[in-house]
Amino acid sequence: MATTPDGGRPDEWARHWQYPGVPGLDLLRARYVRHAFSRHSHEGYVLGAVRRGIEDVVMPEGTIRARPGTVVMINPEVPHSAHAGVPEGWSYATLYPSAGLVAAIAEEETSLRGTVAFGETIVDDESTARLISAVHRAAEEGNALAADSLLRVAVARLLRRHGRSLPQRAPRSAGARTAAAAREALLDRMAAPPTLEQLARELGTSPFALLRAFKAAYGMPPHAWLTNARVRAARRLLESGTAPGEAAVVVGFTDQPHLNRHFTRIVGVPPGAYQRERARTYKTGGAGRP
């Protein structure tokens, strides 16, 4: 079942779901016009194929324009935002394979070892874009064999053409260590976080030095990173059956409307729709939209 991102825009619709036949994969199929994704990152990978219109994706290195026939590849924890690149918006199919799933495919089908990443953010690859849409169709039809097979073919192809192994991490700088300590403090105190000044004082640095170090390490300032972390935590609570209003309070949002707004800007659907999709058992598909 598709839903409008804000519950009331008939020209926009989205379906964000999991198919039990392919563990480790989230799927999003949507049409957006006015909806914009705020800056966020994912724990796993993003593989997107625009079907109509243009999506502008704002990456750390600049804005890319995703058109039909292109494939967008975003690595884990890379901050990005997105919005329509043309007045009529864009429709697309996106796959969110987990880091574990991609690592398993890389080990089986490529020579890449260790932590793998895509070396390019966007490529012209109409055949793989069609494969991404085909994964969605197979999942919506309840065809686990086809969905799993097509997913593995698509990921393996992209890894062979554009994948690389990341080098071993260099020793952390003092700024990176400070940013990591701040990150852990925000995670531990998510529901009642300190102010920037308090956090800087606790870590023995200044507010501006902490801001610079945190943004250099995670691509966004602490408050934006915390919002992203809260939405991730809310997703886990919703998946376990926690009501949206309760989840909002647990992760530190003032109330459910605040959760609704931030959740929709990051995930692409409201928390209630997200939870309903997670609760369903998929035997035959049908997002109800082309």
Per residue in 213-225, pLDDT (tens digit) is 999 999 999 999 9
Q: Average model confidence (pLDDT) for the chain?
A: 92
Nearest to 288 by CA among 34, 71, 31: 31
- Residue spans in the chain of domains classed CATH 2.60.120.10: 13-168
- Model confidence at 185: pLDDT above 70: yes
- Model confidence at 282: pLDDT above 50: no
The arithmetic mean of pLDDT across residues 122-148, rounded, is: 98
What is the pLDDT at residue 113?
A: 87
What is the pLDDT at residue 5?
A: 63
> How crowded is residue 270: how many other Cβ atoms within 10 Å of its Cβ?
22
What is the band of 1 on the pLDDT scale with cuts at 50, 70, 90? low
- Asked if 33 and 12 touch (Cβ cutoff 8 Å), the reply is yes
What are the C-alpha distances in Å from 275 to residues 164, 232, 235, 268? Answer: 35, 13, 8, 13
Strand partners for 118: 163
Nearest to 150 by CA among 139, 164, 166, 160: 139
Q: Which two tokens stand for residue 108?
A: 């089986």
Instruction: Compute the distance between CA of residue 155 and CA of residue 167 in angstroms, rounded to an integer.
Output: 21
H or E segment at 51?
strand 46-53
What is the pLDDT at residue 4?
A: 64
- Model confidence at 290: pLDDT above 80: no
Supply the DSSP symbol for 23.
T
Q: What are phi and psi of 87, to 5 degrees?
A: -60, -30
What is the pLDDT at residue 229?
A: 98
The half-sphere exposure of 82 on its side-chain side, counting CA atoms within 13 A, is: 26
What is the pLDDT at residue 142?
A: 95
Instruction: Compute the distance between CA of residue 211 and CA of residue 90 in angstroms, rounded to an integer.
Output: 34
Supply the DSSP symbol for 288.
S
Quick one: 167 exposed, middle or buried, by C-beta within 10 A (0-12, 13-18, 19+)?
exposed
Which CATH number is correct for 13-168, 3.30.70.270, 3.40.190.150, 2.60.120.10, 3.40.50.12780?
Answer: 2.60.120.10
What is the band of 278 on the pLDDT scale with cuts at 50, 70, 90? confident
pTM listed for this prediction? 0.91
Per residue in 16-46, pLDDT (tens digit) is 999 999 999 999 999 999 999 999 999 999 9
- Model confidence at 55: pLDDT above 90: yes
> How crowded is residue 251: how many other Cβ atoms within 10 Å of its Cβ?
23
- Residue spans in the chain of domains classed CATH 1.10.10.60: 176-277
What is the pLDDT at residue 173?
A: 86
- Model confidence at 124: pLDDT above 50: yes
Per residue in 219-258, pLDDT (tens digit) is 999 999 999 999 999 999 999 999 999 999 999 999 999 9
Quote the CATH superfamily of domain 176-277. Answer: Homeodomain-like (1.10.10.60)
What are the C-alpha distances in Å from 235 to residues 28, 33, 166, 200? Answer: 15, 24, 29, 29
- Model confidence at 284: pLDDT above 50: no
- Model confidence at 6: pLDDT above 60: no
* 21 SS3 class: coil
What is the pLDDT at residue 281?
A: 45
* 1 SS3 class: coil
